[in-house]
Structure 1
Protein backbone atom coordinates (compact mmCIF):
# COMPACT_ATOMS: atom_id res chain seq x y z
CA UNK A 1 0.00 0.00 0.00
CA UNK A 2 1.29 3.43 -0.89
CA UNK A 3 2.30 5.62 2.04
CA UNK A 4 0.97 8.75 0.35
CA UNK A 5 -1.27 11.00 2.39
CA UNK A 6 -4.87 9.98 1.84
CA UNK A 7 -7.04 12.38 -0.14
CA UNK A 8 -10.75 12.62 -0.83
CA UNK A 9 -12.95 15.01 -2.80
CA UNK A 10 -16.69 15.35 -3.20
CA UNK A 11 -17.76 16.16 -6.75
CA UNK A 12 -21.01 18.05 -7.24
CA UNK A 13 -22.49 19.88 -10.20
CA UNK A 14 -24.48 22.94 -11.14
CA UNK A 15 -27.28 20.62 -12.31
CA UNK A 16 -27.91 17.11 -13.51
CA UNK A 17 -26.32 16.14 -16.80
CA UNK A 18 -23.31 18.45 -16.50
CA UNK A 19 -20.68 15.70 -16.67
CA UNK A 20 -19.97 14.85 -13.03
CA UNK A 21 -19.20 11.22 -13.84
CA UNK A 22 -16.90 12.21 -16.69
CA UNK A 23 -14.98 14.69 -14.52
CA UNK A 24 -14.90 12.29 -11.57
CA UNK A 25 -13.49 9.55 -13.82
CA UNK A 26 -10.96 12.01 -15.21
CA UNK A 27 -9.82 12.82 -11.67
CA UNK A 28 -9.58 9.14 -10.72
CA UNK A 29 -7.38 8.47 -13.77
CA UNK A 30 -5.30 11.57 -13.15
CA UNK A 31 -4.43 10.53 -9.60
CA UNK A 32 -3.76 6.97 -10.80
CA UNK A 33 -1.26 8.31 -13.36
CA UNK A 34 0.60 9.87 -10.43
CA UNK A 35 1.10 6.41 -8.97
CA UNK A 36 -1.65 6.68 -6.37
CA UNK A 37 -4.24 4.00 -5.65
CA UNK A 38 -7.32 5.85 -6.80
CA UNK A 39 -11.02 4.99 -6.91
CA UNK A 40 -14.35 6.70 -7.52
CA UNK A 41 -17.49 6.25 -5.43
CA UNK A 42 -21.11 6.88 -6.43
CA UNK A 43 -23.04 6.57 -3.15
CA UNK A 44 -26.49 6.96 -4.73
CA UNK A 45 -27.49 6.28 -8.32
CA UNK A 46 -30.84 6.27 -10.13
CA UNK A 47 -31.56 5.02 -13.64
CA UNK A 48 -29.67 1.76 -13.09
CA UNK A 49 -30.02 -1.24 -15.42
CA UNK A 50 -30.78 -4.76 -14.27
CA UNK A 51 -27.93 -7.06 -15.28
CA UNK A 52 -27.96 -10.73 -14.27
CA UNK A 53 -30.52 -10.01 -11.57
CA UNK A 54 -28.78 -7.02 -10.00
CA UNK A 55 -28.99 -3.29 -10.54
CA UNK A 56 -25.88 -1.75 -12.11
CA UNK A 57 -25.20 1.98 -12.36
CA UNK A 58 -23.52 3.08 -15.57
CA UNK A 59 -21.91 5.93 -13.61
CA UNK A 60 -20.50 3.53 -11.02
CA UNK A 61 -19.24 1.23 -13.77
CA UNK A 62 -17.39 4.14 -15.40
CA UNK A 63 -15.80 5.11 -12.10
CA UNK A 64 -14.75 1.52 -11.46
CA UNK A 65 -13.24 1.29 -14.95
CA UNK A 66 -11.22 4.44 -14.29
CA UNK A 67 -9.81 3.07 -11.04
CA UNK A 68 -6.51 1.24 -10.74
CA UNK A 69 -7.76 -0.84 -7.78
CA UNK A 70 -9.93 -3.98 -7.78
CA UNK A 71 -12.92 -3.23 -5.55
CA UNK A 72 -16.52 -4.35 -5.17
CA UNK A 73 -19.17 -2.50 -7.18
CA UNK A 74 -21.35 -2.70 -4.05
CA UNK A 75 -18.86 -0.46 -2.25
CA UNK A 76 -18.53 1.84 -5.24
CA UNK A 77 -22.33 2.22 -5.36
CA UNK A 78 -24.14 1.29 -2.10
CA UNK A 79 -27.57 2.55 -3.26
CA UNK A 80 -28.75 1.68 -6.78
CA UNK A 81 -32.27 2.37 -8.03
CA UNK A 82 -33.85 1.41 -11.34
CA UNK A 83 -36.12 4.39 -12.15
CA UNK A 84 -34.34 7.42 -13.63
CA UNK A 85 -35.96 9.77 -11.11
CA UNK A 86 -34.94 11.77 -8.05
CA UNK A 87 -33.14 9.49 -5.54
CA UNK A 88 -35.50 10.11 -2.63
CA UNK A 89 -38.52 9.18 -4.75
CA UNK A 90 -36.76 6.12 -6.16
CA UNK A 91 -35.86 5.03 -2.62
CA UNK A 92 -39.47 5.46 -1.48
CA UNK A 93 -40.72 3.35 -4.38
CA UNK A 94 -38.18 0.65 -3.54
CA UNK A 95 -39.19 0.68 0.13
CA UNK A 96 -35.69 1.74 1.15
CA UNK A 97 -34.14 4.59 3.08
CA UNK A 98 -30.83 6.16 2.12
CA UNK A 99 -28.72 5.99 5.27
CA UNK A 100 -25.93 8.59 5.44
CA UNK A 101 -24.19 6.67 8.23
CA UNK A 102 -24.04 3.58 6.00
CA UNK A 103 -22.56 5.63 3.15
CA UNK A 104 -19.93 7.02 5.52
CA UNK A 105 -19.07 3.49 6.69
CA UNK A 106 -18.67 2.25 3.12
CA UNK A 107 -16.55 5.30 2.28
CA UNK A 108 -14.21 4.59 5.19
CA UNK A 109 -13.88 0.98 4.01
CA UNK A 110 -12.88 2.21 0.56
CA UNK A 111 -10.52 4.84 1.92
CA UNK A 112 -8.69 2.24 4.01
CA UNK A 113 -7.68 0.44 0.80
CA UNK A 114 -6.60 3.37 -1.39
CA UNK A 115 -4.82 6.73 -1.46
CA UNK A 116 -7.54 8.80 -3.15
CA UNK A 117 -11.34 8.54 -3.21
CA UNK A 118 -13.42 10.72 -5.55
CA UNK A 119 -17.04 10.73 -4.35
CA UNK A 120 -19.57 11.76 -6.98
CA UNK A 121 -22.90 13.16 -5.89
CA UNK A 122 -26.19 12.69 -7.73
CA UNK A 123 -27.74 15.65 -9.55
CA UNK A 124 -27.07 19.04 -7.99
CA UNK A 125 -25.96 20.04 -4.51
CA UNK A 126 -29.46 20.14 -2.99
CA UNK A 127 -30.95 16.97 -4.48
CA UNK A 128 -33.08 15.35 -1.72
CA UNK A 129 -32.14 11.96 -0.30
CA UNK A 130 -35.10 11.60 2.06
CA UNK A 131 -37.66 13.79 3.82
CA UNK A 132 -34.98 15.60 5.83
CA UNK A 133 -31.62 15.14 4.13
CA UNK A 134 -30.13 16.10 0.79
CA UNK A 135 -26.87 15.70 -1.09
CA UNK A 136 -25.46 18.73 0.76
CA UNK A 137 -25.98 16.89 4.06
CA UNK A 138 -23.99 13.94 2.72
CA UNK A 139 -21.17 16.28 1.66
CA UNK A 140 -21.16 17.83 5.14
CA UNK A 141 -21.14 14.42 6.82
CA UNK A 142 -18.17 13.26 4.78
CA UNK A 143 -16.53 16.62 5.37
CA UNK A 144 -13.87 16.77 2.69
CA UNK A 145 -13.28 19.44 0.02
CA UNK A 146 -15.78 19.90 -2.80
CA UNK A 147 -15.09 20.17 -6.52
CA UNK A 148 -17.82 21.86 -8.54
CA UNK A 149 -18.48 20.84 -12.14
CA UNK A 150 -19.93 23.77 -14.06
CA UNK A 151 -21.84 22.68 -17.14
CA UNK A 152 -20.96 25.32 -19.71
CA UNK A 153 -24.31 26.22 -21.27
CA UNK A 154 -26.79 29.08 -21.13
CA UNK A 155 -27.49 29.98 -17.48
CA UNK A 156 -24.26 28.50 -16.13
CA UNK A 157 -23.03 31.68 -14.45
CA UNK A 158 -26.03 32.00 -12.17
CA UNK A 159 -26.10 28.27 -11.40
CA UNK A 160 -22.37 28.21 -10.63
CA UNK A 161 -22.39 31.23 -8.32
CA UNK A 162 -25.47 30.01 -6.42
CA UNK A 163 -23.99 26.54 -5.94
CA UNK A 164 -20.63 27.93 -4.84
CA UNK A 165 -22.40 30.11 -2.28
CA UNK A 166 -24.42 27.15 -1.00
CA UNK A 167 -21.28 25.04 -0.59
CA UNK A 168 -19.55 27.74 1.44
CA UNK A 169 -22.65 28.40 3.54
CA UNK A 170 -22.64 24.75 4.60
CA UNK A 171 -19.13 25.22 5.98
CA UNK A 172 -17.41 23.18 3.29
CA UNK A 173 -14.21 24.00 1.43
CA UNK A 174 -14.72 24.61 -2.27
CA UNK A 175 -11.45 23.18 -3.56
CA UNK A 176 -12.09 24.43 -7.08
CA UNK A 177 -14.31 24.29 -10.11
CA UNK A 178 -14.12 22.70 -13.55
CA UNK A 179 -15.68 24.18 -16.69
CA UNK A 180 -17.15 21.30 -18.69
CA UNK A 181 -18.48 22.24 -22.13
CA UNK A 182 -21.76 20.31 -22.36
CA UNK A 183 -23.21 22.44 -25.17
CA UNK A 184 -21.02 22.29 -28.30
CA UNK A 185 -22.77 25.33 -29.74
CA UNK A 186 -22.77 27.54 -26.66
CA UNK A 187 -22.78 31.21 -27.63
CA UNK A 188 -20.08 33.46 -26.12
CA UNK A 189 -18.30 30.54 -24.45
CA UNK A 190 -15.05 32.42 -23.81
CA UNK A 191 -16.88 35.44 -22.40
CA UNK A 192 -18.89 33.26 -20.01
CA UNK A 193 -15.75 31.42 -18.95
CA UNK A 194 -13.94 34.70 -18.29
CA UNK A 195 -16.83 35.99 -16.18
CA UNK A 196 -16.79 32.81 -14.10
CA UNK A 197 -13.04 33.02 -13.60
CA UNK A 198 -13.48 36.57 -12.30
CA UNK A 199 -16.43 35.87 -10.00
CA UNK A 200 -16.09 32.30 -8.69
CA UNK A 201 -14.76 32.23 -5.10
CA UNK A 202 -12.48 29.25 -5.72
CA UNK A 203 -9.62 28.03 -7.88
CA UNK A 204 -10.21 27.37 -11.56
CA UNK A 205 -9.07 23.78 -12.13
CA UNK A 206 -9.43 23.74 -15.91
CA UNK A 207 -11.64 23.52 -18.96
CA UNK A 208 -12.84 20.29 -20.53
CA UNK A 209 -13.85 20.80 -24.18
CA UNK A 210 -16.87 19.21 -25.82
CA UNK A 211 -15.99 15.61 -26.51
CA UNK A 212 -17.58 12.46 -27.81
CA UNK A 213 -15.01 9.90 -26.74
CA UNK A 214 -13.34 8.85 -23.50
CA UNK A 215 -9.94 9.68 -25.03
CA UNK A 216 -10.24 13.07 -23.34
CA UNK A 217 -9.78 11.31 -20.02
CA UNK A 218 -6.16 10.71 -20.92
CA UNK A 219 -5.24 14.12 -22.34
CA UNK A 220 -6.96 16.68 -20.09
CA UNK A 221 -5.06 17.54 -16.92
CA UNK A 222 -6.85 19.41 -14.16
CA UNK A 223 -4.88 21.64 -11.78
CA UNK A 224 -5.30 19.72 -8.54
Structure 2
Protein backbone atom coordinates (compact mmCIF):
# COMPACT_ATOMS: atom_id res chain seq x y z
CA UNK A 1 0.00 0.00 0.00
CA UNK A 2 1.46 3.34 -1.02
CA UNK A 3 -1.63 5.48 -0.38
CA UNK A 4 -2.46 6.93 3.02
CA UNK A 5 -5.29 9.10 4.35
CA UNK A 6 -4.13 12.02 6.51
CA UNK A 7 -6.51 13.12 9.24
CA UNK A 8 -6.13 15.30 12.30
CA UNK A 9 -7.29 15.73 15.86
CA UNK A 10 -8.95 19.01 14.90
CA UNK A 11 -9.00 21.87 12.45
CA UNK A 12 -5.59 23.59 12.31
CA UNK A 13 -3.83 20.58 13.82
CA UNK A 14 -1.16 20.84 11.13
CA UNK A 15 -2.41 18.36 8.52
CA UNK A 16 -1.21 20.32 5.49
CA UNK A 17 2.18 21.04 7.06
CA UNK A 18 2.63 17.34 7.82
CA UNK A 19 1.28 16.13 4.46
CA UNK A 20 3.43 18.50 2.44
CA UNK A 21 6.43 17.78 4.69
CA UNK A 22 6.11 14.03 4.17
CA UNK A 23 5.81 14.54 0.42
CA UNK A 24 8.91 16.74 0.45
CA UNK A 25 10.79 14.07 2.44
CA UNK A 26 9.72 11.45 -0.11
CA UNK A 27 10.98 13.66 -2.94
CA UNK A 28 14.37 13.88 -1.24
CA UNK A 29 14.50 10.09 -1.55
CA UNK A 30 13.84 10.39 -5.28
CA UNK A 31 10.32 9.00 -4.90
CA UNK A 32 7.42 10.16 -7.05
CA UNK A 33 4.71 11.89 -5.03
CA UNK A 34 1.09 12.98 -5.17
CA UNK A 35 -0.85 15.03 -2.65
CA UNK A 36 -4.65 15.13 -2.92
CA UNK A 37 -7.16 17.31 -1.12
CA UNK A 38 -10.44 16.29 -2.72
CA UNK A 39 -12.58 18.86 -0.90
CA UNK A 40 -11.43 22.24 0.38
CA UNK A 41 -13.21 25.17 2.01
CA UNK A 42 -11.72 28.61 2.40
CA UNK A 43 -10.62 29.08 -1.21
CA UNK A 44 -9.72 32.23 -3.12
CA UNK A 45 -10.94 33.31 -6.54
CA UNK A 46 -8.35 33.19 -9.34
CA UNK A 47 -8.60 33.51 -13.12
CA UNK A 48 -8.61 29.69 -13.18
CA UNK A 49 -11.38 29.36 -10.58
CA UNK A 50 -11.31 28.81 -6.82
CA UNK A 51 -7.93 27.74 -5.45
CA UNK A 52 -7.18 26.66 -1.88
CA UNK A 53 -3.83 27.43 -0.24
CA UNK A 54 -3.55 24.00 1.37
CA UNK A 55 -4.22 22.28 -1.95
CA UNK A 56 -1.65 24.50 -3.64
CA UNK A 57 0.92 23.41 -1.05
CA UNK A 58 0.20 19.76 -1.90
CA UNK A 59 0.31 20.46 -5.63
CA UNK A 60 3.74 22.04 -5.20
CA UNK A 61 5.03 18.83 -3.58
CA UNK A 62 3.52 16.53 -6.22
CA UNK A 63 6.22 15.31 -8.62
CA UNK A 64 5.79 14.87 -11.54
CA UNK A 65 3.67 18.00 -11.44
CA UNK A 66 -0.10 17.67 -11.89
CA UNK A 67 -2.77 20.26 -12.60
CA UNK A 68 -4.63 21.94 -9.76
CA UNK A 69 -7.89 20.15 -10.54
CA UNK A 70 -6.14 16.82 -10.03
CA UNK A 71 -5.22 17.81 -6.49
CA UNK A 72 -8.44 19.61 -5.54
CA UNK A 73 -11.51 19.02 -7.73
CA UNK A 74 -14.02 20.47 -5.23
CA UNK A 75 -13.35 23.91 -3.77
CA UNK A 76 -15.60 26.30 -1.86
CA UNK A 77 -15.00 29.94 -1.02
CA UNK A 78 -16.32 30.21 2.58
CA UNK A 79 -13.97 28.99 5.31
CA UNK A 80 -16.69 26.88 6.92
CA UNK A 81 -17.52 23.18 7.27
CA UNK A 82 -17.51 21.64 3.76
CA UNK A 83 -21.04 20.24 4.00
CA UNK A 84 -22.38 23.72 4.83
CA UNK A 85 -20.30 25.30 2.07
CA UNK A 86 -21.70 22.75 -0.37
CA UNK A 87 -25.28 23.53 0.66
CA UNK A 88 -24.66 27.26 0.20
CA UNK A 89 -23.22 26.52 -3.26
CA UNK A 90 -26.25 24.40 -4.18
CA UNK A 91 -24.22 21.19 -4.26
CA UNK A 92 -24.30 17.90 -2.39
CA UNK A 93 -21.16 16.03 -1.38
CA UNK A 94 -21.43 12.25 -1.60
CA UNK A 95 -18.92 9.58 -0.61
CA UNK A 96 -19.62 7.46 -3.70
CA UNK A 97 -18.78 10.28 -6.11
CA UNK A 98 -15.66 11.41 -4.25
CA UNK A 99 -14.30 7.89 -3.79
CA UNK A 100 -14.87 7.14 -7.46
CA UNK A 101 -12.87 10.26 -8.36
CA UNK A 102 -10.12 9.32 -5.89
CA UNK A 103 -9.91 5.76 -7.20
CA UNK A 104 -9.62 6.92 -10.80
CA UNK A 105 -7.07 9.60 -9.93
CA UNK A 106 -4.90 7.16 -7.97
CA UNK A 107 -5.14 4.62 -10.78
CA UNK A 108 -4.27 7.11 -13.52
CA UNK A 109 -1.60 8.95 -11.51
CA UNK A 110 0.25 6.11 -9.78
CA UNK A 111 3.05 7.38 -7.54
CA UNK A 112 5.45 5.93 -5.00
CA UNK A 113 3.78 7.96 -2.24
CA UNK A 114 0.22 9.30 -2.40
CA UNK A 115 -1.27 11.20 0.53
CA UNK A 116 -4.95 12.17 0.69
CA UNK A 117 -5.63 15.00 3.13
CA UNK A 118 -9.02 15.20 4.77
CA UNK A 119 -10.62 18.30 6.27
CA UNK A 120 -10.79 19.05 9.97
CA UNK A 121 -10.98 15.89 12.03
CA UNK A 122 -12.11 12.30 11.50
CA UNK A 123 -15.85 12.95 11.91
CA UNK A 124 -16.23 16.13 9.86
CA UNK A 125 -19.49 15.64 7.92
CA UNK A 126 -19.81 15.45 4.14
CA UNK A 127 -23.60 15.50 4.28
CA UNK A 128 -26.40 14.60 6.71
CA UNK A 129 -25.44 10.91 6.78
CA UNK A 130 -21.80 10.65 5.64
CA UNK A 131 -18.48 11.85 7.05
CA UNK A 132 -14.98 12.40 5.69
CA UNK A 133 -14.00 9.19 7.47
CA UNK A 134 -16.28 7.32 5.07
CA UNK A 135 -13.88 8.19 2.24
CA UNK A 136 -11.02 6.37 3.95
CA UNK A 137 -13.31 3.50 4.92
CA UNK A 138 -14.60 3.07 1.36
CA UNK A 139 -11.05 2.96 -0.01
CA UNK A 140 -9.75 0.88 2.94
CA UNK A 141 -6.86 3.28 3.47
CA UNK A 142 -4.43 3.26 6.40
CA UNK A 143 -4.54 6.54 8.29
CA UNK A 144 -1.83 8.95 9.37
CA UNK A 145 -3.00 10.88 12.42
CA UNK A 146 -1.77 14.44 12.90
CA UNK A 147 -1.93 15.49 16.53
CA UNK A 148 -2.05 19.23 17.12
CA UNK A 149 0.11 19.46 20.24
CA UNK A 150 -1.69 21.74 22.67
CA UNK A 151 -3.61 21.48 25.91
CA UNK A 152 -6.29 18.81 25.46
CA UNK A 153 -4.51 16.92 22.70
CA UNK A 154 -4.12 13.68 24.65
CA UNK A 155 -7.87 13.15 24.81
CA UNK A 156 -8.40 14.27 21.19
CA UNK A 157 -5.64 12.01 19.89
CA UNK A 158 -6.75 8.91 21.77
CA UNK A 159 -10.40 9.34 20.82
CA UNK A 160 -9.51 9.85 17.16
CA UNK A 161 -7.26 6.79 17.08
CA UNK A 162 -10.02 4.75 18.75
CA UNK A 163 -12.53 5.95 16.14
CA UNK A 164 -10.21 5.06 13.26
CA UNK A 165 -9.71 1.54 14.59
CA UNK A 166 -13.41 1.15 15.39
CA UNK A 167 -14.05 1.89 11.71
CA UNK A 168 -11.86 -1.06 10.81
CA UNK A 169 -8.83 0.88 9.63
CA UNK A 170 -5.17 0.91 10.66
CA UNK A 171 -3.40 3.86 12.24
CA UNK A 172 -0.23 3.58 10.17
CA UNK A 173 1.52 6.30 12.12
CA UNK A 174 1.09 9.57 13.93
CA UNK A 175 2.82 12.96 13.79
CA UNK A 176 2.89 15.60 16.49
CA UNK A 177 2.76 19.24 15.42
CA UNK A 178 3.32 21.91 18.05
CA UNK A 179 0.52 24.40 17.42
CA UNK A 180 0.84 26.05 20.84
CA UNK A 181 4.45 26.93 21.80
CA UNK A 182 3.46 27.16 25.47
CA UNK A 183 2.59 23.46 25.42
CA UNK A 184 6.22 22.61 24.63
CA UNK A 185 7.80 25.23 26.89
CA UNK A 186 8.41 22.84 29.79
CA UNK A 187 10.63 20.14 28.28
CA UNK A 188 10.00 17.50 30.96
CA UNK A 189 6.22 17.84 30.76
CA UNK A 190 6.32 17.93 26.97
CA UNK A 191 8.35 14.72 26.80
CA UNK A 192 5.94 13.10 29.26
CA UNK A 193 3.02 13.98 26.99
CA UNK A 194 4.82 12.56 23.94
CA UNK A 195 5.61 9.37 25.86
CA UNK A 196 1.92 9.06 26.78
CA UNK A 197 0.88 9.46 23.14
CA UNK A 198 3.42 6.90 22.00
CA UNK A 199 2.12 4.40 24.53
CA UNK A 200 -1.59 4.97 24.02
CA UNK A 201 -1.74 5.50 20.26
CA UNK A 202 0.09 2.20 19.70
CA UNK A 203 1.35 3.35 16.31
CA UNK A 204 4.79 4.48 15.12
CA UNK A 205 5.61 8.15 15.53
CA UNK A 206 6.67 9.62 12.18
CA UNK A 207 8.02 12.75 13.83
CA UNK A 208 7.43 15.73 16.10
CA UNK A 209 7.41 19.11 14.36
CA UNK A 210 8.26 22.03 16.66
CA UNK A 211 6.55 25.38 16.36
CA UNK A 212 8.16 26.80 13.21
CA UNK A 213 8.68 30.47 12.41
CA UNK A 214 8.29 29.55 8.72
CA UNK A 215 5.91 26.57 8.65
CA UNK A 216 6.41 25.01 5.23
CA UNK A 217 7.21 21.62 3.73
CA UNK A 218 10.95 22.15 3.48
CA UNK A 219 11.28 23.25 7.11
CA UNK A 220 9.00 20.47 8.41
CA UNK A 221 10.58 17.61 6.46
CA UNK A 222 13.75 17.25 8.60
CA UNK A 223 11.56 16.36 11.57
CA UNK A 224 9.69 13.61 9.68
CA UNK A 225 10.46 10.03 8.67
CA UNK A 226 8.77 7.81 6.11
CA UNK A 227 10.58 4.70 7.30
CA UNK A 228 7.87 3.43 9.71
CA UNK A 229 5.36 3.41 6.85
TM-score category, normalised to shorter length: over 0.9
Does residue 169 of structure 2 align to residue 172 of structure 1?
Answer: yes
Partner of 1:106: 101
Q: Distance in 1 between matches of 2:150 and 2:49?
A: 35
Tell me the alpha carbon deviations over residues 164-203 of structure 1, each in whole angstroms, 9 at most, x when there is no partner.
0000000011101111111111153222111111211212
Structure 2 residue matching 1:185: 3-state secondary structure:
helix
Aligned positions of 1:60-75 closer than 5 A: 60-75=55-70
Query: What is the match of residue 201 of structure 1?
Result: 202
Question: Are 2:211 and 1:210 aligned?
Answer: yes
| Residue 13 (structure 1) aligned to one of 1, 8, 13 | 8
- 1:219 match: secondary structure: helix
Q: TM-score, normalised by structure 1?
A: 0.92
Q: Partner of 2:224 in structure 1?
A: 221
Where 2:69 maps in the other structure, the secondary structure is helix
8 A Cα contact 1:15 1:124, kept in partner: yes
Q: How many Å separate the matches in 1 of 2:48 and 2:72?
A: 16
Whole-angstrom distance in 2 between the partners of 1:53 and 1:29: 26
Structure 1 portions without partners, runs of 5+: 1-5
Q: Which runs of 5+ in 2 are unaligned?
A: none
- For the residues of structure 2 that align with 1:217 and 1:181, how far apart are their CA atoms? 11
Q: CA contact under 8 A between 1:78 and 1:103: conserved in structure 2?
A: no
Structure 1: how far apart are the matches of 2:54 and 2:167?
26
SS state of the match for residue 148, structure 1? strand
The Cα of 1:104 is off from its aligned counterpart by 2.2
Instruction: Say which SS state the counterpart of residue 56 (structure 2) adopts.
Output: helix
**Which secondary structure does the structure 2 equivalent of 1:206 belong to?**
strand
Partner of 2:126: 129
TM-superposition CA deviations, 1:130-154 (whole Å, max 9, x none): 0110011111012111000001000
Q: Following TM superposition, where does structure 1 have runs of at least 4 consecutive aligned residues deviating by more than 4 angstroms?
A: none
Distance 1:206 1:220 in 2: 6
* In structure 1, C-alpha distance between the alignment counterparts of 2:220 and 2:209, rounded to whole Å: 9
Spell out, residue by residue over 1:54-89, the C-alpha distance to the aligned partner (whole angstroms, 9 max, x if none): 110111000001121221211211210111111110
